[in-house]
Amino acid sequence: MHKFYSRRVNFLPAAPEPGAMLRQADAALLIGDPALAYSGPAEVYDLAQEWRKFTGLPFVFALWMGHANLSGQLADFTASLAFGLAHIDDIAEEYAPKLGMAPSAVKVYLTRNIDYSLGAENLQGLKALLQARA
């Protein structure tokens, strides 16, 4: 907020309930399912879009890391990812009602909005984020 919007902010921990959050603060940060399901009256900014607007780079929201000697668990993670990607339609059907979204919208989110790789451009974005925080 300071680097890109010249605003100093105070962050307060809160449960991901937008109404309660906005009664305590001027803004709320929602991540994951609560963000997907939000349909309230507040103005919404997508962090990934804002980051790309200012840096030209993708935003890395999450990263799985582990010690090099855990290669067996990495193989399990890779297999789990492949299984999930092969069952996108099933996942979309299951989670759509929970999110109040159409299965097609969940599928678009899972296939177009999320990049499951950590290629050179994503690493560059991650490095830029770490530098911005310094």
DSSP state letters, 3-66 = HHH----------S-HHHHHHHSS-----SHHHHH---SS----HHHHHHHHHSS---------
131 in a domain, yes or no? no
pLDDT at 38: 86
pLDDT at 68: 76
User: Which range marks the domain in which residue 75 is found?
Assistant: 64-117
Both 110 and 69 in one domain: the answer is yes
The pTM assigned to this predicted structure is: 0.77
Both 71 and 111 in one domain: the answer is yes
78 in a domain, yes or no? yes
Count of the separate structural domains present in the chain: 2
pLDDT at 36: 84
128 in a domain, yes or no? no
% of the chain at pLDDT higher than 70: 99
17 in a domain, yes or no? yes
Both 112 and 80 in one domain: the answer is yes
Residue 124 has pLDDT above 90, yes or no: yes
Q: Cα–Cα distance between 52 and 38 in angstroms, integer? A: 22
52 or 77, which is more confident: 52
pLDDT at 32: 85
90 in a domain, yes or no? yes
pLDDT digits (tens, 9 = 90+) for 7-31: 999 999 999 899 899 999 999 999 8
pLDDT at 15: 92
pLDDT digits (tens, 9 = 90+) for 81-90: 999 999 999 9
Both 112 and 72 in one domain: the answer is yes
59 in a domain, yes or no? no
